[in-house]
Structure 1
Amino acid sequence: MVAPLSNDLRERVVGAAAAGESCRSVAARFGVSVSSVVKWSQRYRRSGSVAPSQMGGHRKRLLEPHRAFIAERIAQSPQISLHGLKD
């Protein structure tokens, strides 16, 4: 996954757009997409910050409901394979 661009760059982009320069020219000047200029400007107007929001999220543990069963099977036969456990 790609890391977010620096806050310094974001602030310079938003500053240029706020100074009246068009989004397309700001994007070309700083080497970012036009949609990034628009989104960062909107975020700045909405929250006063250009900092990126959290990336990723919480992944639900799919095997959690079966934890006791799996632990019991492994305790009974420690050499069991994933295929054997599945069967």
Structure 2
Amino acid sequence: MGKSHSADLRQRVVALVSSGQSRRAAARHFGVSNSSAIKLLQRRERTGTIAPARQGRPPGRGKLSAYRDFLVAQVEEKPDITMPELARRLEEKHSVLVPLSDIAGLHI
């Protein structure tokens, strides 16, 4: 996933286009891709903002979201359960194999 351009650069691109330059000319002037300048201005027209969109997967949409209640119940039943134990129970009960880091990412 790429890194967003700075707010300052975004504002300067918009200002140059607002002063009459084309989007491609603004991209060339500031050393960004044509696509970046074009999409930035499209975003401003569509949403009214030039702030970057949130990157990454929305919360609660991961592989384990369907099993969260099961995992929480396991932790409530045995508060000192380890992640390897949780992973094993998940595999035994639901035939789901996941890395321990995925379970840790749930912050149960």
Distance 2:90 2:22 in 1: 64
**Residues 1:12 and 1:64: Cα distance change in structure 2 (over 3 Å):** same
Q: How does 1:22-37 map to 2 (within 5 A)?
A: 22-37=22-37
- The superposition leaves residues 29-66 of structure 1 with CA deviations (integer Å, 9 ceiling, x where unpaired) of 10111111111111112222100011011342258388
CA RMSD of superposed structures (Å): 3.1
Larger Rg: 1
Q: What number of residue pairs does the alignment pair up?
A: 75
Structure-2 change in CA distance of 1:29 and 1:56 (3 Å) = same
Mapped pair 1:60 → 2:78: no
Distance 1:60 1:72 in 2: 15
Residues 59-68 or 12-21, more deviating: 59-68
Deviation at residue 16 of structure 1 after TM alignment:
0.7
* C-alpha distance in 2 between matches for 1:19 and 1:60: 44
Q: Which has the higher contact order (CA 8 A, sep 6+)?
A: 1
User: In structure 1, what is the equivalent of residue 7 of structure 2?
Assistant: 7
| Separation in 2, partners of 1:39, 1:73 | 44
Cα displacement (A) at 1:18: 1.6
Match of 1:41 in 2: 41
Instruction: Specify the SS of the correspondent of 1:54.
Output: coil
Deviation at 1:2, TM superposition (A): 2.7
Q: Which runs of 5+ in 2 are unaligned?
A: 75-85, 93-108
Percent identity reads: 38
Distance in 1 (alpha carbons) for counterparts of 2:48 and 2:14? 11
